[in-house]
Amino acid sequence: MSKEDTGFFQAKPPHVRIEHVTKQFADFQALKDVSLDIWTGEFICFLGPSGCGKTTLLRAIAGLDIQSDGRIYMNGSDVSALPPSMRDFGIVFQSYALFPNLTVNQNIAYGLHGRKLSRSSVDAKVAALLETVGLPDQGNKYPASMSGGQQQRVALARALATEPSLLLLDEPLSALDAKVRHHLRREMKDLQRNLGVTTIMVTHDQHEALTMADRIVVMSNGRIEQVGTPEEIYHNPASKFVADFVGEMNFVDAEIIAENCIQIGNKQLFADTKGHKSRNVIAAIRPEDVMIYDGQSDNANHFTTCLSEGEFLGSFFRARFEGGDLGGHSLRADIAIHTMRNMKIRAGEQTLMAIPHDRIRIYEKTS
């Protein structure tokens, strides 16, 4: 992806440049030739399952675990061998890491010690940060008396106290319950946008990455699988791994029988087969792209099948269709409740379904 495509084109060098970074722990290689540019003001998410290397990469950027090979630059300067104290960043950990014996005010002010600021300047800065994170009257409390969400806000304020040019977030919301997590991720994104601080967040939660990131870096087995905007990652996954990890996906065995034509079960469907040499492939289809066919559109990819089961999920019904033209295959479909009601779809009855040809993605079976 070009710098222009990111929306963060800069005449200056990237805020963070990672060049061919590897990290070896004894016999285990945690990072394998990772290269990435991060631009000033971006909110980047490192996304992937446990053990994929995302936290190791964050710690390498911070200097907490120096890379085994490769270089890391910040604002054009090589910081590859510098200790954390000489890298301009603030960091928030999953565990908050607040000092339990210090008040909220004292926790936030901790990083300002030794900066030759007057007491009044420190107090004013702490008060402003507490206002920024929505805790204006909590300065005299101790961490133990606060909720997890409040403690996370204090940790964020402490990380921002030194006005770092780079903010590092290591699974900052994973210890919180779903409702608090949903609320805080919106607040954190708004805060990052208002401050304009370049931010890197590690997460295994695809919803956090999709809702918060300007770009997502999907990682697997120490490598970068794909870098792109949330829309690019979701709608155009570069590999079967990305397609499977981000969002829900149907994977169906298919056969390429002609250019831009595949067969699933007993049905031939149009799909983009460009670049695929193997006849036996995997077709990937999002559940929301499997639709009930009304006979009015010109979608040639329609087929008969039967509803076998489903579950009510509030605004939509997650249905499973099998048999008919699908043969021995099945497809999950997310169908609006009013559509299910209006079309009178019932289990065991034959139903006409459709899939837009541009919403079928093809992957090699070995990928």
Please state the domain extents for the chain: 3-244, 248-364
Say what the pLDDT of residue 7 is.
59
Say what the pLDDT of residue 1 is.
43
Say what the pLDDT of residue 158 is.
95
Terminal alpha carbon distance of the chain: 22
Instruction: Please spell the DSSP secondary structure of 260-324, one letter per residue.
Output: TEEEETTEEEE---TT---SEEEEEE-GGG-EE--S-S----EEEEEEEEEEE-SSEEEEEEESG
Q: Which of 246, 192, 191, 198 is nearest to 218 (CA)?
A: 246
From the CB of residue 50, how many other CB atoms can be counted at a distance below 10 Å? Answer: 7
Q: At 185, is the secondary structure helix, strand, or coil?
A: helix
Looking up tokens 């909220």 gives 104
Q: How far apart are CA 168 and CA 198, in angstroms?
A: 9
Q: Which residues of 315-343 are buried (b: 16+ CB within 10 A; e: fewer)?
A: ebbebbbbbbbbeebbbbbbbeeeebeee
Give the predicted TM-score (pTM) of the model: 0.90
Q: How far apart are CA 11 and CA 200, in angstroms?
A: 21
Q: How far apart are CA 233 and CA 241, in angstroms?
A: 11
Say what the pLDDT of residue 200 is.
98
Instruction: Please spell the DSSP secondary structure of 95-106, one letter per residue.
Output: T----TTS-HHH
Q: Which residues sit opposite 77 in a β-bridge?
A: 74
Q: Are 292 and 331 in contact (CB under 8 A)?
A: no
Q: Which residues of 271-289 are buried (b: 16+ CB within 10 A; e: fewer)?
A: bebeeeeeeebbbbbbbeb
Say what the pLDDT of residue 116 is.
83
CATH of segment(s) 248-364 = 2.40.50.100
Residue spans of the chain under pLDDT 50: 1-4, 367
- Burial class from Cβ neighbours inside 10 Å (0-12, 13-18, 19+) for residue 344 reads exposed
CATH, domain 3-244, list 3.40.50.300, 2.60.40.420, 3.40.309.10, 3.30.1330.20: 3.40.50.300
Instruction: Please spell the DSSP secondary structure of 322-333, one letter per residue.
Output: ESGGGTT-EEEE
Q: Which of 302, 280, 306, 287 is nearest to 362 (CA)?
A: 280
Q: Which of 363, 353, 364, 354 is nearest to 284 (CA)?
A: 363
